Chain A
Amino acid sequence: MRGRLLETGAAWLLALIWLGPLAYAFWAAFHPAHFATHFNLLAPLTLENFAKAWTYAPFPRHFLNTMILVTMILAAQLVLCTLAGYAFARFEFAGHNIAFGLVLVQLMIMPEVLIVENYRIMARLGLVDTILGIGLPYMASAFGTFLLRQTFKTVPRELEDAARVEGCSFLGVLWRVYVPLARPTYLAYGLVSVSYHWNNFLWPLVVTNSVQTRPLTVGLAIFGAPESGVDWAVISAGTLMAVAPLLVAFLLFQRQFMQSFMQAGIK
């Protein structure tokens, strides 16, 4: 019995340690700058750090850019991966095995590994420093294609045949039979995609160079750099603002988030 109690204590302690950094960021952000390094339970609360962060860096613009980026990528991914996943699940076209293998290459070689060449391609296309340029390499997602192919393969053929008899075209079948049945997969994939691109940094950093296109992570990196001379309390406030939408969504839909990340990992 004592062993169990000890274990419970250890599990809680680890949970506290794991929440510590975030809890600290909250502490620093909601108190005057002076208290970032001095703990005092009676320290006055303030929202001033958030107000400062909001004006020191063009946060509204970064928010807008990230929203556009995430929406654009997800919309394109849903369309492209649905079509490609359907092709691989139900059409045994010539060369489908080789084509599928070539698609899976992207699971290993993600666009962020090819920053040098992809930057060159974007320069040639005139897409450097555009939001489209950040999103384009990610739109045809091997992972999404794979996930949807697996899901579509589990749909009974009889459903498709029945729809065909009713006079559905092959795109009609996709839209009326396959897509509705794959709704849980779409939800899981959507959550993972949005989290990934909300947090993505390296490629957006490489391909953008102005406030008009930089997403939140890049804006935050510039804002938080020691050279910027902004104090800890304000940086904490800015950091919390940048992670807030995703963090709130996670706290509300914990179970769904964990399940989606798990599905995404196991493939």
Chain B
Amino acid sequence: MKHVYGWLLLTPAAILLVGFTHYPAAMTLFDSFFSTGTVVRPSRFVGLDNYAALADDPIFWQVLGNNFWFALGTIPSAIALAMVMALWVNEKLPARALVRMAYFTPTVLPMIAVANIWLFFYTPQIGLLDQFNALFGVASHNWLGDPDTVLGAVMLMVVWKEAGFFMIFYLAALQSLPPELEEAAKIEGASRWYFFRRVTFPLLMPTTLFVLVNATINSFKLVDHLFILTKGGPDNASSLLLYYIYQVAFSFFDTAYASTLTVVLLALLAGLAVLQFLLIERRVHYR
């Protein structure tokens, strides 16, 4: 009986899950071996041609590189900030609730709204950043129009958006640490920096690993801001893999190539899943 009931309960969810996750994921792989069909030339099997095109596509490599720099630029700084924020908010700080709210607020805002506001900061001449710089005699600069500064400008915004979200995980971890540790350190006369370096930081390591993996996954999935700020430009200098997939599929209408790109993204996410699994295993071991 339990077999029948179990499957009956699961069926409604299973149909939707298979229909919109497993089936499309499998079809993505399948489609990547075919050409994009048109009215005059129907889709046909092309083997690994799409993958060969991918290897020769400079934009693909550029976008992948951007993803790498984007992750490297946003994740460590957001994590470091999140840790500092959590340490501050965890102490007896005047107006602590207000400070905590300030740090967390960007998390509840949609990326589109955030990008709308930040776009104005980066606007040449009249934007806030240029007005501020003008006070110090720094010349106006087109932050989002210059391939050298665009990725950095976008990263800054993403760090602002994400640090508060990571903070709450550190806050939870800090609150679960036994208070005796700090008392003992005080009696021993350890400085606060020493205590952080030798006690708090190592104890926060599992949280850091957890946040690290999640932040990396997010860095592949979050591209909303590009639609407002840069459209991936100039010359794809700020484009990310998922945004490129969107462009190839819905602006250039090359669905077969978009599927091939999606396979790469799926492989990357699967790799991260395996990594996360291994990390969780390790975490259990040293507890």
Q: Which residues of A contact B (CB under 8 A)?
A: 3, 7-8, 10-12, 14-16, 18-19, 21-22, 24-25, 28, 36-37, 79-81, 83-84, 86-88, 91-94, 96, 99, 102-103, 105-106, 108-121, 136-137, 139-140, 142, 145, 170, 195, 198-202, 205-206, 216-217, 220-221, 224-226, 232, 235-236, 239, 242-243, 246-247, 250-251, 254, 257-258, 261-262, 265-266
- Do the beta carbons of B112 and A217 come within 8 Å of each other? yes
Query: In the complex, what distance in Å separates the CA atom of A121 from the CA atom of B93?
Result: 53
A-B contact pairs, 11 of them (CB 8 A): A83-B12, A91-B9, A113-B221, A117-B31, A120-B24, A140-B14, A200-B110, A216-B110, A224-B115, A235-B120, A247-B108
Contact with B242, one of A105, A113, A216, A232 (Cβ below 8 angstroms): A113
Q: Which of B44-52, B57-65, B147-155, B262-270 contacts A (4 or more CB under 8 A)?
A: B262-270
Chain A residues closer than 8 Å to B165, beta-carbon distance: 261, 265
User: Which residue of B has the minimal Cβ distance to A110?
Assistant: B221
Distance from A183 Cβ to chain B, minimum over Cβ atoms (Å): 20
Q: Does B83 contact A (CB under 8 A)?
A: no
Among candidates A86, A108, A202, residue contacting B224 with C-beta atoms closer than 8 Å:
A202
Whether B117 sits at the interface, judged by CB under 8 Å, is yes
Which residue of A108, A137, A243 is within 8 Å of B273 (Cβ)? A108
Q: Is the CB–CB distance between B102 and A18 below 8 Å?
A: yes
Assembly CA distance A10 to B21 (angstroms): 46
Partner of B93, one of A8, A96, A110, A145: A8
Smallest Cβ distance from B38 to chain A, in angstroms?
A: 15
Q: Assuming the A-B contacts A24-B128, A262-B169, are A225 and B228 also in contact, with contact meaning beta carbons closer than 8 angstroms in the complex?
A: yes
A121 to B25, CA, bound (A): 12
B39 close to A (CB within 8 Å): no
Q: Find out whether the CB atom of B273 lies under 8 angstroms from the CB atom of A199.
A: no
Which range contains the number of B residues in contact with the other chain?
35 or more
Using Cβ atoms and an 8 Å threshold, which residues of chain B touch A254? 97, 100-101, 104
Identify the closest chain A residue to B166 (Cβ).
A265
Q: Is B69 an interface residue (CB 8 A)?
A: no
Q: How far is the CA of A251 from the CA of B100 in the complex (A)?
A: 12
B272 adjacent to A108 (CB under 8 Å) = yes
Residue of B nearest to A198 (CB): B110
0/1 string, B162-199, CB within 8 A of A gives 1: 00110011011000000000000000000010000000
Min distance, Cβ A108 to any Cβ of chain B, angstroms: 5
Instruction: Give which listed residue, B17, B94, B120, contacts A140 with CB less than 8 A.
Output: B17
Tell me the complex Cα distance, A150–B22, Å.
Answer: 23
**Which A residues touch B126, using CB under 8 A?**
37
Give the residue of B12, B16, B114 whose beta carbon is less than 8 angstroms from that of A136. Answer: B16
Known contacts A37-B126, A83-B9, A84-B13; A112/B112 CB under 8 A: no
Which residue of chain B has its CB nearest to the CB of A142?
B17
| B88 contacts A11, C-beta separation under 8 Å | yes
B110 lies within 8 A of A83 (CB): no
Pick the contact of B105 from A18, A86, A114, A206 — CB < 8 Å?
A18
Partner of A86, one of B3, B9, B242: B9
- The CA of A81 and the CA of B28, in the complex, are separated in Å by 26
Q: Are B110 and A87 in contact (CB under 8 A)?
A: no
CB within 8 Å of A: which of B1-28?
2-7, 9-10, 12-17, 19-25, 27-28
